[in-house]
Amino acid sequence: MSFTPSATPRVPQKKDDNKNVIYILVALLLLAFGYIVYDKTQTKNVIEQKDQAISVATNAKDSLSAEFTKVSKRMDSLNATNVSLQGNLASKNTELLKQKANIDELAHKKNLSAEELKKARLMIASLNEKLDGFIAEINKLKAENKVLDSSNKQLTTDKNQLTTEKKLLTDTLTATTNQNKVLADKVDVASTLKASNINVTALKVKSDGSESIVTKAKNASLLRISCTIDENRVTPSGNKTLFVCVYGPDGKPSGSEGTFGLRDGSDKSFTNKVDVAYEQGKVSKVSFNWKPGTKFVAGSYKIEIYNNGFKIGEAIKDLRKGGLF
């Protein structure tokens, strides 16, 4: 029987296993290190991207705020210089203020989405466009108002000039009127008739119509008054009126047919009114009868003749008392 010795275990095989384990551990460590490095890199990229997004968002919001501030200043300046907007302009201004308030609310929102940011920009652009039109309309109105102001100033100047000229004309007219009045008064006075040769006769009128001169009151039926109207080259031809006032022996007016105006502005009662057909530049003879409403009484009868408010003649007629002779 033969004996074959068993094989002896190889020590190097164990060493090889240890090496493999080491290799594996090293590989795992390398993988872990690589993962850590990769993870940190990715995290850094995410942070950078996030920071970049935040920066972009911040810049966008800052830009939006700047745009909003700019348009707000335009509106504030517009409202400061146009505080008296009325009618259609006031309505448009109210609409712009409402649009500004809507943008302001959106611009101060903390987290603006891209859609909201786009909407805000569009609103600001629209507001700017409307402001341009609004300002253009106001400037147009200002230009028109400037023209109107210039026209009003010219009208005021013209009015003042016309007022001055009117006053000058009025003063001239007043002066001329006063002069004319003075001249008219002079002519009027100069045209007043003058009575001369006044004669008063007491007459008795018989039943057959015949007349006889009497001197006693009881016999008198009437007084016949005659006079001469002197030549006057100023008085125009035409009908002239004489007012006759007769006063009885008691000094009182003997009856009254009405009143006429004197030159001093007062009124005077007259006894008789006589119309005379006067011819300019010629002497006229006037005769008229007067009798009282009652019988004549003895005494002095005063007769006054007036024309144009002036007394132009006067006469006295005495009637004696009745008796046998």
Q: What is the pTM of this model?
A: 0.48
Q: Find out whether 204 and 251 touch, Cβ atoms under 8 Å.
A: no
Per residue in 258-309, pLDDT (tens digit) is: 999 999 999 999 999 999 999 998 999 999 999 888 889 999 999 999 999 9
Q: What would the mean pLDDT of 139-163 be, rounded to a whole number?
A: 85
**Domain extents in the chain:** 17-137, 195-319
Q: Which of 147-151, 177-181, 189-193, 242-246 has the lowest mean pLDDT?
A: 177-181
> Which range scores top for mean pLDDT: 137-151, 182-196, 272-286?
272-286
Distance of CA 63 to the CA centre of its chain: 53
Check whether 89 has a pLDDT greater than 70: no
At the fourth CATH level, the homologous superfamily of domain 195-319 is Immunoglobulins (2.60.40.10)
Length of the chain: 325
In this prediction, residue 55 carries a pLDDT of: 57
DSSP 179-237: HHHHHHHHHHHHTS--EEEEEEEEEEE-TTS-EEE--BGGG--EEEEEEEE---SSSPS
Q: Tell me what the pLDDT averaged over the chain comes to.
A: 81
Phi, psi of 138 (to 5 degrees): -65, -45
Q: What would the mean pLDDT of 12-41 be, rounded to a whole number?
A: 77
Distance of CA 116 to the CA centre of its chain: 55
